Structure 1
Amino acid sequence: MADPSDYVVVGAGLAGAATAWQLAARGHQVTLLERDVPAAHDGSSHGSARIFRYAYPDPFYTQAVLDSKDLWDGLAADAGVELITPSGAVDHGPKRQPALLAEVLAGAGIDHELLSAADARNRWPQIAFDTEVLWHPGAGVIDAETSVNAMVALAVQHGAKVLSGWSLDRVERLGGAGYRLHSTTGETLDAGNLVISAGGWLPRLLDSLPLPAGFLAGLPEFTVRQEQAFHFRYREDPGFSGTNWPTFIHKAGDLQTYGLPGGRDADFAGQKVAEYNGGPRIRSAADQTGVVDPANRTRVVDYVRRYLPGLDPEPYAETTCLFTNTPTEDFLIDRAENLTVVSPCSGHGAKFAPLTGQWAADLATGAGPVPNRFRSASSPALTT
């Protein structure tokens, strides 16, 4: 049995790494457990391309992005690496409501422009806009893997231990206080406090956690999707530029798509494009196959042919990834006894990673509350 820790964090993705870093930086004894390696390829935090943006129809999230950006800047300075590459972002489509997004950004004092479709096409001829367009230059692309490794390294500098290849099987409540964790290979580890940040593995783990029945009953329904992402090369055409690609979100009809410069994942040669929540549902991450759905590929290729003339419409690379969703797309950060569950999910959590770690560390230590919208139905109301 390994030496006990005051705090054990399960899962070294963006949220788990951020929580371990925040706890260790506050002087707590921390062990970070990871079933594979930090930012593992079959998790939700691998690779070099996640969208960082301020545009939300809900002012709560826009303000949270502002708060998170301060923490990102401090993290990058402490780690000595660039974590967010500037690119700007465009939002368009009748269901994306660019004018509403512009109002929210204006209320938060965030630099932006609301452009006509014609003006936007003149600026970005590689995109076939068909509605007015919101542009905000402060957006960018998060290098998720580098960010995880930076937070893990800082946690270690503050004394945290990292155990890779430690796959959690079940947790038992000890008689006095604390927990005993059992791995799938028979190892055990004792913890005074436990934080579960297991991403797409959370739905399967919930049954093996010693959580009160009322707490479990109040949790939102989690659904896991095996999402598909495709990389398309920038066209070699004097009318287009591979260096002038913003991130984008486009909502039209029943299809919502997003795209961003693919970065290191795609040899910096193209744009990563995907259908939001377009992949098949699976029970948990353990059930993922890594096989791309041909129907999803066809939808995305058809979309690129229609709306992205600056790209070669045949993907040169493709992959699957995990989205863990709640019905409202809000996160879950909640606690029962000394066990904290953290799930910043629904496909938009990456940009909040340092702030999520701060929220989770506050809740786990009792140092502060988290927003009510992240608490389960059975938890007492707390305000930020």
Structure 2
Amino acid sequence: MTTRLGGAGTRTHVVIGGGVVGAATAYSLATRGERVVLLEQHGRGHERGSSHGATRIFRQGYADPEYVTLTSRALELWEGLERAANEQLIVRTGAVDHGRPEVVDAIAAALADAGIPHDTLTPEQAAARWPGIAFEGHVLAHATAGRIRSAEAIEVFLTLAERTGLVELRFDTRVTGIEDHGGDVTVALSDGSTVRTSSVIAAVGSWAPTLVGDLLAERGARLPALRITQEQPAHFPSRLPDEAWPSFVHWADGDDVYGLLTPGEGVKVGFHGTGPVVDPDHRDFTPVPAEAERLQAYVARYVPGVDATRPTFISCLYDTSPDEDFVIDRRGPITVATGFSGHGFKFAPLLGDMIADLATGGAPHPRFSLSEQSAPAPEDS
């Protein structure tokens, strides 16, 4: 049985994906008076994608001025979301960057140009301030940063969306196929039903290539070559009080490293985007032994405030684009959001607005748009 969503003068968007990007998109659409059905193949708050876990870093420390601007816009929206939910979602611990001088200095310049307060320190000054971390190279701190209470953030998006009365949430409902009819699409579901809609939003991260890659190609656009990896950060028991930990990034000679406190679980430390390539539907969730040893050796040297011998490993997915830029664009009734490259969570409310803009007829952000290919798009796209 096919359900046609929306009647005369109305439209219902089908958002596929109940992670932070899909949840933020559903909420943003609902605040505009748009109706939404959100489909998630797993349960509410599942751990099989990129959004799970208790904490994520919020930081404005980018060397790229455009991303710094986007962090400021995202921060305003996070603060608005906190007011709407009457709940703290960003804990302002501050953040510190250290390591390769050319990277840290470029971040300092970008923050200065944006008028974002920051401090430069020597490694010795930084160690005195944050004894849990061993610093090298140049050091930069900015106080607007901290950690996002990520699990709570997703729930806030979903709960506020539901409260509008315009959003239906369907968990444990997998999309098994999408058929493109030109002006609309039919979405086939794992329960045997189908829905037909003029707006489907694939906020599916690592699943985007298999779900909508061919559909977009038929419309003359192509996804970049996304690298889907299983990452393996770990929590390490802290020897210090919670307030001793900022969020931190080490621009090391080799693989870059990030870290932050997860209260009650330890200090989370991980290499950025170094995990093995995987099929997101067929993961073993098992750390690569050599990489686990390498992470512990790093932590023993550079994070003295934790016990490096007692890691609790985590498994998550990265959907990394070649340039680590996001991919957010629309062709006809199909909107796609992917390529968040391990740094998308901090932008979630802004991403929700960008995607909602696209789905309601707006233009894409030029930097995040799809590449064109020679195949012509359908006439009614």
CA distance in 1, matches of 2:99, 2:15: 40
Q: What's 2:293 paired with? A: 298
Write the distance in 2 (CA, Å) between the matches of 1:231 and 1:138: 24
Distance 2:241 2:36 in 1: 47
For 2:277, give the aligned amino acid.
Answer: R
Specify the alignment match of 2:236 in structure 1. 232
RMSD: 1.7
What residue number does 1:252 align with? 252
Query: Is 1:215 matched up with 2:209?
Result: no
Three-state SS of the structure 1 residue aligned to 2:22 is: helix
Q: Please point out which of 44, 47, 66 is paired with 2:53.
A: 47
- Residue in structure 1 matching 2:274, options 271, 278, 302: 278
| Separation in structure 1 between the aligned mates of residue 99 and residue 48 of structure 2, nearest angstrom | 32
> The residue matched to 2:69 in structure 1 has which SS?
helix
Letter in 2 for 1:305: A
2:208 alignment partner in structure 1: 202
Question: Is residue 2:180 matched to residue 1:173?
Answer: yes
User: CA 1:22–1:277 in 2, change beyond 3 Å: closer, same or farther?
Assistant: same
Deviation at 1:373, TM superposition (A): 0.8
Residue 242 of structure 1, CA deviation:
3.7
User: Letter of the aligned partner of 1:271 in structure 2?
Assistant: V
Q: Is the 8 A contact 1:95 1:252 kept in 2?
A: no
From 305, 310, 314, the counterpart of 2:309: 314
Partner of 2:336: 341
How far off is 1:187 after superposition? 2.0
**What is the CA deviation profile of residues 342-373 of structure 1, one whole-angstrom value per residue up to 9, with x for unaligned ones?**
1151000000000001001111111x323211
- Conserved in 2, the CA contact under 8 Å of 1:359 and 1:369? no
Q: 1: CA distance between counterparts of 2:217 and 2:136?
A: 51
Deviation string for 1:51-99 (max 9, x for gaps)? 1000000000010000011111111111122111111111011167222
The partner residue of 1:57 within 63, 85, 95 is: 63
- Pick closer, same or farther for the CA change 1:153–1:242 going to 2, 3 Å: closer
Contact 1:96 1:251 (8 Å CA) reproduced: no
Change in 2 beyond 3 A, CA 1:215/1:331:
farther
The residue correspondences of 1:3-22 to structure 2 (distance < 5 A) are: 4-5=5-6, 6-22=12-28
User: Which residue pairs with 2:376 in the alignment?
Assistant: none
- Structure 1 unaligned segments of length 5 or more: list them: 380-384
Between the aligned partners of 2:60 and 2:334, the Cα distance in structure 1 is: 31
- Alpha-carbon shift at residue 258 of structure 1 (Å): 0.7
Q: Measure the CA separation in 1 of the matches of 2:82 and 2:319.
A: 27
Between the aligned partners of 2:251 and 2:313, the Cα distance in structure 1 is: 22
State the partner residue of 1:375. 369
Q: 1:355 aligns with which of 350, 356, 364?
A: 350
Runs of 4+ aligned residues of structure 1 deviating over 6 Å after TM superposition are: none
Which residues in structure 2 correspond to 1:25-44 (within 5 Å)?
25-44=31-50
The percent identity for this pair of structures is: 37
Is residue 230–residue 315 contact of structure 1 (8 Å, CA) maintained in 2?
A: no
CA distance in 1: counterparts of 2:151 and 2:44, whole angstroms? 8
What is the DSSP-based 3-state SS (H/G/I as helix, E as strand, rest coil) of the residue aligned with 1:314?
Answer: coil
CA contact (8 A) 1:98 1:114 kept: no
Which of 69, 82, 87 is matched with 1:81 structurally?
A: 87
SS of 1:255's equivalent in the other structure is coil
Q: How far 1:241 moved relative to its partner?
A: 4.0
Matches of 1:317 and 1:278, distance apart in 2: 18
User: So what's the TM-score if we normalise by structure 1?
Assistant: 0.91
- The offset of 1:214, in angstroms, is 5.2
User: C-alpha displacement at 1:316, in angstroms?
Assistant: 3.9
Q: What is the distance in 1 between the residues matched to 2:38 and 2:102?
A: 39
> Counterparts of 1:211 and 1:371 in 2: how far apart (Å)?
18
Give the equivalent residue in structure 2 for 1:382. none
Q: Deviations over 1:269-291 (max 9, x none)?
A: x2000111121111x31122111
Structure 1 pair 286–255 and aligned structure 2 pair: CA distance change class (3 A):
same
- In structure 2, the residue matched to 1:261 is 261
Contact 1:105–1:112, Cα closer than 8 Å, also in 2: yes
Is contact 1:212-1:336 (8 Å) kept? no
Contact 1:230 1:318 in 2 (8 A): yes
One-letter amino acid of the counterpart of residue 289, structure 1: D
Alignment size in residue pairs: 366
CA distance in 2, matches of 1:54, 1:190: 40
What displacement does 1:40 show?
1.7
Give 5+ residue unaligned stretches, structure 2. 7-11, 374-381
Q: TM-score, normalised by structure 2?
A: 0.92
- C-alpha distance after superposition, 1:164-192 (max 9, x if no partner): 111011011247x3211112332212212
Q: CA separation of 1:48/1:199 partners in 2, compared to 1, >3 Å: closer, same or farther?
A: same
Structure 1 residue 69 and structure 2 residue 75: aligned? yes
